[in-house]
Amino acid sequence: MNRRTFTKSLALGITAAGLGKVPAIARKPATQFSITMDDFHWQNPVKLSALERNQSILNAFQSHSIKAALFVVGGNIEAPEGKQLLSAWDKAGHMLGNHTYSHRNYNASATVVAEYQQDILRAEALLKDFPRFRKYFRFPLLKEGDTLAKRDAMRTFLSQHGYRNGHVTIDNSDWAIDNRLTARLKKDPAADVKPYRDFYMEHMWARAEYYDSLAQRVLGRPVKHTVLVHFNLLNGLFLNDLIAMFKSKGWEPVDAEEAFADPLFSASPKVVPAGESIVWSLAKEKGTIAKSLRYPAEDGEYENARMNKLGL
């Protein structure tokens, strides 16, 4: 049931009650989620060619009637092949955002703020002519600054250039599972991929439930989620299953651009180090919840023991 039919049945329920009939049972509105994909690293084809991976991911969105957001590393669209692959996203109506040119870690101590800002503008120059480009910026590794001065320098820079932060709400380690899957298939192209799929679904649902309940605790209301995933083989194979799983749990897909309209994404939590999921960051800002949080919020390290146990 989507939000519209929910409201409608609720209204009907009230009318029926007014007529002395049995009121419709008011159900909780569905949790809403969107898919936001990062990096666009297409130059490492394993099992699927770059074109096949691209097509498979776009087909998954199309079959669920979802418009996603793709945060592009500018360096990946210098070559004509990269531009062409990206055009397919643009034509399909997905939003394109900026993810820097060279994917540096802003929290690294060696980072020079002015160079990092140039890296963003360099990516923008490559993206700006795509009609579906929007001024949303996503920090690589979700690292928004390890000092107050660095954090605020970027907040000022982004707002001066008309950018909004393309925050993630549901962070996870899909990339770590993809690393294992890719390594296995390079060694044994006929390896069974189902165990990787199963672990991916389990992991994503665990992270989704965690961040959704954290959002409820921090904000006291449902939010429109932006689920982070990466442009990799794992999603080339299983993105369709991932979206289907969320739907089977009663979650409702929405377009990424619609999700980003949630007021949640305008927040600028005053925490250092800044970044991670926006939900995590807001929780960190709230002293009472902060103690229960780990840092980094997500990392392959947390998943390795279980992946080892499963032989992935």
Residue 30 tokens, joined: 């569905």
CB of 214 to Zn ion, least distance (A): 22
Judge whether 90 and 134 are in contact, CB under 8 Å: no
CB of 138 to Zn ion, least distance (A): 7
Q: What's the N-to-C CA distance of the chain in angstroms? A: 36
CB of 70 to Zn ion, least distance (A): 11
DSSP string of 198-211, one letter each residue? HHHHHHHHHHHHHH
**Closer to Zn ion by Cβ: residue 138 or 180:** 138
Judge whether 284 and 269 are in contact, CB under 8 Å: yes
**Residues in the site for Zn ion, rule: CB under 5 A?**
38-39, 140
How far, in Å, CA of 120 to CA of 25, rounded? 50
Residue 245 tokens, joined: 């799983």
**Closer to Zn ion by Cβ: residue 71 or 260:** 71
CB of 188 to Zn ion, least distance (A): 28
CB of 141 to Zn ion, least distance (A): 6
Report CA torsion sign: 34, 40, 41, 45.
positive
**Closer to Zn ion by Cβ: residue 30 or 70:** 70
**Closer to Zn ion by Cβ: residue 67 or 230:** 230
CB of 105 to Zn ion, least distance (A): 10
Give the CB-nearest residue to Zn ion. 38
Hey, how many other C-beta atoms are within 10 angstroms of the C-beta on 194?
Answer: 9
How far, in Å, CA of 65 to CA of 256, rounded? 12
**Closer to Zn ion by Cβ: residue 140 or 253:** 140
Judge whether 196 and 234 are in contact, CB under 8 Å: yes
**Closer to Zn ion by Cβ: residue 39 or 178:** 39
**Closer to Zn ion by Cβ: residue 39 or 262:** 39
Q: How far is CA 138 from CA 28, 155, 205, 277, 278, in A?
A: 32, 12, 23, 11, 12
